[in-house]
Amino acid sequence: MPLYEYECRACDKRFDRLVSAAAADDAECPRCGASEARRLISVIAGMTGRAAAPAPVCGQGACGNC
């Protein structure tokens, strides 16, 4: 199940919920109980904005067998 981030329109509380995609639009605020939370677009955990280094290939001494 994906983790979704929400913000309550009634009290501005931000919170996370681990829910199925089918239930992603139904979130109740844990602070005020309002059902007026909107789903936010979140940054994926682990993203740094830097390009990953290319994987080493055999012949460059990376595998220990060459």
Q: Taking the domains of the chain in order of start, what are their residue ranges?
A: 3-39
CB count in 10 Å sphere of residue 29? 20
13-22: long-range contacts, CB 8 A cutoff, minimum separation 24: 14/40
> 6-38 pLDDT, tens per residue?
999 999 999 999 988 888 888 999 999 999 899
Is 50's pLDDT higher than 90? no
Is 41's pLDDT higher than 80? yes
Q: Please tell me the pTM assigned to this model.
A: 0.60
The per-residue pLDDT of the chain, averaged, comes to 79
